[in-house]
Amino acid sequence: MTSTERDPSLRAAAEAWLADDPDPASRDELRAVLDDPSELADRFAGPLRFGTAGLRGPLRAGPNGMNLAVVRGAAAGLVRWLAAQQTGPDDRPLVIGYDARHGSHAFAMETARVATGAGRRALLMPRPLPTPVLAFAVRRRGAAAGVMVTASHNPPQDNGYKVYLADGAQLVPPADAGIERAIREVGPLAEVPLGPPGEVLTEDIVREYVDAALGVVDPEVPRELAVAYTPLHGVGREVFAATLAAAGYPAPFVVAEQAEPDPDFPTVAFPNPEEPGAMDLLLALAARERADIAIANDPDADRCAVAFARDGGWQQLRGDEVGALLADHLMRRGVRGRYATTIVSSSLLSRMCEDQGLPYGETLTGFKWIVRAGDDLVYGYEEALGYCVAPDLVRDKDGITAALLVCELAAGLRAELRTLGDRLDELALRYGVHATDQLSIRVADLGEIAQMMATIRARPPVDLLDEPVISIEDRLPDADVLILRAGTTRVVVRPSGTEPKLKAYLEVVEPVADPADLPGARERAAAGLAALRTETATALGLK
């Protein structure tokens, strides 16, 4: 008896998928694994669902992967849902962007053909471009919605599908559930009408974005700054360089090995600037060229990593540090309004807002929540290197405008013979050292994540760093998040919404008595984080 004969329902599901899959290459791929029960079980474990950042998964045949069939179904469900929201005629287009990953252009074209087949105009971006440009275009072109085909900073074997609504922000409930229902109701994919590939936008949309981005910075402040930059084999370089030039900054030094889009990301294990080693080539270039700062965008340029020269070496900043620096810079410029971050970010921003008498917002993880923190939002960030420095321009994280604002801050400090580190010291003296770190556990089986979450929920620690746990906040069922607090120590545990990881976000706050105490306070905080990592790992059931 063959393996598939022992599981006829799985075989039947695979054969039904084969009969409806419009892509010959995917059909051949699926036929090759019909007798592999574990492979079929994974591919048919369920459909991809809208997570923190839309659909995202491995490029492979079957419902639990990114492929032409899944994209056709997603696009058909989206356009039908859009049509159902209107009580009258709706001539607003669907704007579609894509990055340079494997399959991105084909998925974008398929989405356009589904849209036009349903009678809706489709506007394709002129070439592979950063996600923020697509988010900008949704509102600039008065679209009903936008689609960005990207897996952001995921490994090369992945792709994804982000959906933006007419307000330029990513999906939130109940729209995501409504679209998923519409996708399930699509029926046979062969019966989905396909139209022409839509209209390709001109480069004007890029120029409009660059022109609008200039409003982020003050034209009257210093511009002398040496910047080393990498797009990490992604699509950010041309737009970042054009924005920097238009703002009057010198051209950046660019990592040659990573300058051009390459969907295989050959120089990095993971194309995520947070990953160890991802910025090694950038920091080497920065040292050779004696740059003032080093900036990395992730492959779709919606995130921004920053490092600066310090004590003869280079210090890479955490997302919470850049988030606080940019918030402080805007506050010093007199930008009034709501400043927001997420439950997993540092508590420092809340302290700064309280001190400045500014409204503060705290949301669930993801920019789809941050940009909805309030109508008065002027700035939002998340610790995973995402920053929204101009909500009126892009209602999402934007690694281009964030990098531009970092340049303004660094150039102003350089003119005073100071660095980003000096400004961080000032913040620490005023508010204490807010040290953050992350325990990130990558898994092959998503069941391991559920087991770890169940373990810490069943037996949460009674103390952290020798202080009693004073509160345990479980966000179920709204979110799979557990928050533990002990004095000024905090641990937030949640599954990643974009990768097969469990993440624990750690924070230790150390008061600073005076400038001479700064090194000691940082050492105490670092020791506390190291101990907290061990305690958290134990609570998760790790050996």
Q: How remote is the C-alpha of 238 from its chain's centroid?
A: 20
C-alpha atoms less than 13 angstroms from C-alpha of 384 in its C-beta half-sphere: 23
Cβ neighbors of 382 (< 8 A, separation 6 or more) are 319, 323, 341, 342, 344, 345, 365, 366, 367, 370, 397
Torsion over CA of 470, 476, 478 and 483, rounded to 10 degrees? 30
Token duo for residue 446: 């998503």
| Crossing angle of the two packed helices 348-356 and 319-332, in degrees rounded to 10 | 10
Task: Respond yes or no: is residue 104 known to be catalytic.
Answer: no
Choose the catalytic residue: 26, 104, 152, 496: 152
Q: What is the largest CA-CA distance in the chain?
A: 78
Beta carbons of 442 and 451 less than 8 angstroms apart: no
Compute φ and ψ for 314, nearest 5 degrees.
-130, 135
Q: Which two three-digit tokens encode residue 484?
A: 């533990």
Sheet with strand 360-363: strands edge to edge: 360-363, 338-342, 377-382, 386-388
Nearest one of 459, 406, 438 to 503, comparing CA atoms: 438
Task: Report strand pairing: 360-363 vs 338-342.
Answer: parallel
Q: How many CB atoms lie within 10 A of CB 91?
A: 9
Integer Cα distance of 331 and 112 in angstroms: 42
- How far apart are the C-alpha atoms of 52 and 480, rounded to whole Å? 12
443-481 as b/e: b if 16+ CB within 10 A: beeeeebeebbeebeeebbeebeeeebeeeeeeeeebbb
Cross-sheet strand order for the sheet of 253-254: 253-254, 227-230, 293-297, 304-310, 313-316
CA distances for 181 relative to 51, 184, 187, 292, 364, angstroms = 15, 5, 12, 51, 24
**Which residues on neighbouring strands pair with residue 253, listed in sequence order?**
228
Handedness of CA 361, 365, 371, 374 (dihedral sign): negative
Q: Where are the alpha helices (DSSP H) in 85-161?
A: 104-117, 131-140
Distance from the first to the final alpha carbon of the chain: 40
CB 233 within 8 A of CB 300: no
Q: What phi, psi does 27 have (nearest 5°)?
A: -65, -45
Catalytic residue numbers read 152
